[in-house]
Chains A and B, each alone.
Chain A
Amino acid sequence: MSEMHLAHSWDTLEPIRKGFGKGLLEAGKRWENIVGIVADLTESTQMHLFAEAFPERFVEVGVAEQNLVTVGAGMAAMGKIPFVSSYAAFSPGRNWEQIRTTIALNDRPVKIVGSHAGISVGPDGATHQMLEDIALMRALPNMVVIAPCDSNEAAKATLAMAADRQPNYMRLAREATPVFTTEHTPFEIGKAYVYKEGIDVSLITTGTMTYQAMEAAKILAKDGIEAEVVHVPTVKPLDERTILASAHKTRHVVTAEEGQINGGLGGAIAELLGEKLPTPMLRIGMKDRFGESGQPEELLRHFGLDADHIALAAHHLLLDHTNHKH
């Protein structure tokens, strides 16, 4: 693990969205053309740090997500790098066509940041638990899709987005989750990283599920299974080389994400392996259903989005595959 510069202690908890707030503040300091645009959720999306430091570069559009991204497209046309933020359920949930036409097809470097993605939004319930954003955004030509695994990576991703000339989407989570990467852990748009090496099964994950996969790998180790954990912060474009290398090595793949497996990371990996390296796989994620109110942890457990369920899926996969061989 040391080669990936992961943290020694994973006890610190911080919401992933906080990393975005810090990263945007830093981006604002580095580049004068960074602007922040928000739809009535300044503090929730952690844009307040930027707003306080750069009030002249901060724009409030109110509860108007279609306007949020189209104003962003206009500002990008004049040389600005706009970060536009809201909850993922509303942006890109509400304004997908505007993103498609005025940002993706129009190729403007607008940075769309959707906070409160995933089931772990918790008590707010199904309306606010955005599960389809990866599928929506992954389908768009020109669009980059990023789901950082912790606050540190979100800060790095924000700076990378600020320097990237393509349209980008980044999904963030609401709840505090373990900070297990450090400032030295590498991040580049378009790269996947092997956070733990193994030979028996590849756990290919994105966003909050990467931490769960790291925990699952510990559970599996107790049963004598050496799991490899491949963190895929950039769901599009997919780092095919890293993913195929891992699948080739372990011959078993479990994907995990806090969103719909249909069209999500699970869909992306299935498409890749189906075409280039057919490999037995199972997908962990929301299986064609909506969430509901509850505490984040109980929801994650109920819908099978935790370390135990990832480990269980790996067991099933290995067992099934072994049985087929006999």
Chain B
Amino acid sequence: MTKEQKHHSLPALEKKANEIRIDLIKMLEHAGSGHSAGPLGLADIFTALYFEILKHDPETPEWDERDILILSNGHCTPVRYVTMAHAGYFEKKELMTLRQFGSRLQGHPERLRLPGLETTSGPLGSGLSQAAGMAMALRMDKAQHRWVYCIMSDGEQDEGNTWEGAMFAAKYKLNNIIAIADRNNIQIDGPTEVVMPLENLRDKWEAFGWHVVEIDGNDIDAVIDACNMAKAIVEKPVMIIAHTVPGKGVDFMEYDFHWHGAPPNHEQAVKALKELRTLGGKIRSEHE
């Protein structure tokens, strides 16, 4: 929520997520490169964060009372860009500059170029430690009413740095961190359980001293509930394992790891947009 503390109805949030997916497809097609599956799968989580959970102000990105959102898996930045545009950080037409020379919307997010990004990321596994450093600094400053959210991919659970950060956050009981792992089961080379098995992921995080919650990451209500619940856990940092469908909303992209790092061509984009617009109709018809 923003400074004005606006709340949105669930149908309104679901509609927003669908609009974000539509703009994602348009943007990725225009860019001609970029990641499709992860951003589509994360659209519901980003909608929940920017329109309901986060304390932030698009007019004042550096607002010193804001919550922090770290995107550790920087390749999913298209969904952050689209959500930020919808939230009012910049005009939507700028989305069409993604990955172009001179654009503020770099292929992987660069903090110095676009106000509102909290760090520069892309190389995987280092977001959680930065979130932990921020949480630690906030604790030193007795500013624990500010929350540090860290979105991670499941593929980056392969990285050693991730687990170094996990141990650190547990050691210092950094209960002002809420991590969200996008468990979509794919990475570039294939299914995560083939490339480098992660299961039992929940047990791993619990063994590392975290409080773990598992949710359907494409259920906006569940995302909001999990984040609210996480704030009540005081003795441990919280990991929300969010099961998402990669490519969510576009039938021919869903569950297909080939869409991890590829954008739609024009024909595919037309097909995807048609489907998303139809789905938008379904969501409205369900809730109205």
A288 within 8 A of B: no
The reply to whether B161 and A105 contact each other, CB–CB distance below 8 Å, is: no
| Known contacts A57-B140, A98-B126; A62/B167 CB under 8 A | yes
Residues of B within 8 A of A70 (CB): 126, 129-130, 133, 161, 165
The reply to whether A66 and B133 contact each other, CB–CB distance below 8 Å, is: no
| Known contacts A70-B165, A71-B132, A74-B132; A107/B112 CB under 8 A | yes
> How many residues on chain A are close to B (CB under 8 Å)?
28
The reply to whether B168 and A75 contact each other, CB–CB distance below 8 Å, is: no
Residues of B within 8 A of A61 (CB): 164, 168
Q: Which B153-212 residues have C-beta < 8 A from chain A?
A: 160-161, 164-165, 167-168, 172
**CB-nearest residue of chain A relative to B119?**
A106
Interface with B: A19-27, A77-85, A125-133, which one? A77-85
The reply to whether A71 and B123 contact each other, CB–CB distance below 8 Å, is: no
Interface string of B113-155 (1 = CB under 8 A from A): 0000011111101100111111111101100000000000000
B110 within 8 A of A: yes
The reply to whether A71 and B136 contact each other, CB–CB distance below 8 Å, is: yes
The reply to whether B164 and A64 contact each other, CB–CB distance below 8 Å, is: yes
> How many residues on chain B are close to A (CB under 8 Å)?
31
B111 within 8 A of A: yes
Main secondary structure of the interface of B (DSSP, over half): helix
A73 within 8 A of B: yes
| Known contacts A70-B133, A72-B133, A79-B137; A64/B168 CB under 8 A | yes
The reply to whether A71 and B168 contact each other, CB–CB distance below 8 Å, is: yes
Please, how many angstroms separate the alpha-carbon atoms of A107 and B136 in the complex? Answer: 20
The reply to whether A71 and B129 contact each other, CB–CB distance below 8 Å, is: yes
A166 within 8 A of B: no
Please, how many angstroms separate the alpha-carbon atoms of A97 and B123 in the complex? Answer: 8
A225 within 8 A of B: no
> Smallest Cβ distance from A127 to chain B, in angstroms?
19
The reply to whether A106 and B141 contact each other, CB–CB distance below 8 Å, is: no
A: residues with CB less than 8 A from B are 35, 56-57, 59, 61-62, 64, 66-67, 70-80, 82, 97-98, 101-102, 105-107
* Interface CB pairs A-B, < 8 A, 30: A35-B137, A35-B140, A61-B164, A64-B164, A66-B129, A66-B161, A67-B132, A67-B161, A67-B164, A70-B129, A70-B130, A71-B130, A71-B132, A72-B133, A73-B119, A73-B129, A74-B133, A74-B135, A74-B137, A75-B137, A76-B133, A77-B119, A77-B130, A77-B137, A78-B141, A82-B133, A101-B121, A106-B112, A106-B119, A106-B120
- Top 5 nearest A-B pairs (CB, nearest first) are A74-B133, A70-B129, A78-B137, A67-B164, A74-B130
Further pairs besides A70-B161, A74-B130, A107-B112: 19, Cβ < 8 Å: A62-B167, A64-B168, A66-B126, A66-B164, A67-B132, A67-B164, A70-B126, A70-B130, A71-B130, A71-B133, A74-B134, A75-B133, A77-B137, A78-B138, A80-B137, A80-B140, A98-B123, A102-B130, A105-B120
